[in-house]
Structure 1
Amino acid sequence: MMSSDLPAYRVRVSSRARHVRIQVSAEEGVIVVLPQTVDPASVPALLWKKKAWLDRTLSQFEGLQHQPPLATQETSPTLICLRAINQQFYITYHKDANPSLHIHTLGNRLLLRGHVTHYFLVKQTLQRWLTEQAHLHLPPWLETVSKEISLKHFKTIIRGQRTRWASCSQRQTISLNHKLLFLPPHLVRYVFLHELVHLVHFNHSPRFWTLLTHFESNCRSLDQELRRAGHYVPAWAERR
């Protein structure tokens, strides 16, 4: 069924429906669900009221269609290991007609529901979840280390930097990469110490290393280990 300038759509009459619903998915396109009391002839007028939203939503699916499906791209994870906090999360995927993707946490299990067959959406959803976990765990941990060595910073920001584990600004704001959660705890602590010492020496001068060595005698070795730590980070967590 079509009306000029409207996208193709199908009408589904449901005895359970109490209100008109418009569903959009990559697999089925536009479906209008009608209660039995609503005349199907009214559908074009209803769709015209939602045309801007329909055009915007359908254009998003056009972009997804140019991406290879999950089977030809990287494989979505079934297990996430957050070494920094000694936690593992098992992932279950449930595909339904929802064009978006939602994540639910059930203890140490994650349930992803919706358009799970596209790696790009899975990746974005898991990265948002990772950022939430980082907000939950990393700032309190940094605060504890800060108190231990009596170096106080102003603010903590969680980001997803591509090339840095963390950074410290001259305004005493420390930015932490959410990917730190994949590292072993001793490396995360070293990153915290490194950035906190930058509050005193905003460089990598000999005085910086002297102070850092005062707090961590093995800092040079840890610095080299951190440079090789990228292998801990799974592909889905990388922003490209």
Structure 2
Amino acid sequence: MLSKKIVFEKIGEVHFQKSSRAKNIILRVKPQAKIQVSVPKRTSFKTAERFVLQKTDWVLKALEKVKTFQENSIIFSDETIFKTYFRTLKIRKHDSSDAKLKISETTFEIFLPTNWEIKSEITQSKIRGFITQVLRKEAKNYLPQRTLELATQFNFKVNRVFIKNAKTRWGSCSNKNNINLNLNLLRLPQSLIDYVILHELSHTVHHNHSKNFWDLLNKVTLNQAKILDQELKNYRIHF
């Protein structure tokens, strides 16, 4: 038997799958609250079941996070108002069998087949994929340029700027002074975009969150660092 499903009292249905690649038991909670377990070929399902039982508390917390994510996520429709930094989303139907993205100066249009159910998981995933594509394009055009502008203004030395689609971080700075910026920054107000960039630029001088780091960040944000940092926490990376 290569797979099996078991219903646990507290966490519900769990799908176990034998895997030739897995070296250890891997437990995942997927979107739509699907619980999946990859089981090494030489490990018994019974051992994997015991592992899941030991992780019950972790699974419950993960399920709660998925629930919160789903409750806060946008369900896109042709009436949704959604803006990136430079463009406004428009969703339309067309007669083609494939979804299509069209980008102009001020808008980006997503064309969906007329027979697609717009609220289905597959369609919503396709829409989010197109939006991410637009955000990446805008971010690559704008964020490195803005970073260099701020670095020049405040005398920071930065090496390279990379655009990422991180799930938990707005930005990061490596020991080589390479800066990673989240493409979702372009969904934030300008003040917070600049704050994240200045935060990472300050890490090119202090690779920590020491008092010296915060003093420097305060200096380049006109003593607004803590206020901006708190404001940033009100925004979510996912959509």
Which TM-score tier does this pair reach, normalised by the shorter chain? 0.5 to 0.7
| Alpha-carbon contact 1:75-1:119 (below 8 Å) kept | yes
| Alpha-carbon contact 2:90-2:109 (below 8 Å) kept | yes
Q: For the residues of structure 1 that align with 2:195 and 2:109, how far apart are their CA atoms?
A: 33
Q: Give 2:111's aligned residue.
A: 113
Equivalence map 1:154-233=2 (5 Å): 154-216=159-221, 217-230=223-236
Q: For the residues of structure 1 that align with 2:197 and 2:238, how far apart are their CA atoms?
A: 22
Q: Whose RCO is larger (CA < 8 A, sep 6+)?
A: 1
What is the deviation of 1:225? 1.0
Task: State which of 133, 138, 149 in structure 2 corresponds to 1:128.
Answer: 133
Q: Give 1:79's aligned residue.
A: 81
| Alpha-carbon contact 1:158-1:175 (below 8 Å) kept | yes
Give SS of 2:92's match.
strand
Rg (Cα) greater in structure = 1
1:173-219 per-residue CA deviation (whole Å, 9 max, x = no partner) reads: 11111111111111111111110010011000111111112212111
TM value normalised by structure 2: 0.60
Q: For the residues of structure 2 that align with 1:119 and 1:229, how far apart are their CA atoms?
A: 21
The code of the aligned residue for 1:108 comes to T
What is the deviation of 1:88? 4.3
The code of the aligned residue for 1:152 comes to K
Structure 2 unmatched ranges of 5 or more: 1-73
Q: For the residues of structure 2 that align with 1:209 and 1:234, how far apart are their CA atoms?
A: 27
Task: State which of 119, 139, 149 in structure 1 corresponds to 2:154.
Answer: 149
Q: For the residues of structure 2 that align with 1:220 and 1:151, how far apart are their CA atoms?
A: 21
| Alpha-carbon contact 1:165-1:177 (below 8 Å) kept | yes
Equivalence map 1:4-23=2 (5 Å): none
Identity among equivalent pairs (%): 28
Q: For the residues of structure 2 that align with 1:109 and 1:210, how far apart are their CA atoms?
A: 40
Q: 1:154 to 1:88 in 2, by over 3 A?
A: same
Q: For the residues of structure 1 that align with 2:142 and 2:202, how far apart are their CA atoms?
A: 21
TM value normalised by structure 1: 0.60
What is the deviation of 1:121? 1.2
| Alpha-carbon contact 2:77-2:91 (below 8 Å) kept | no
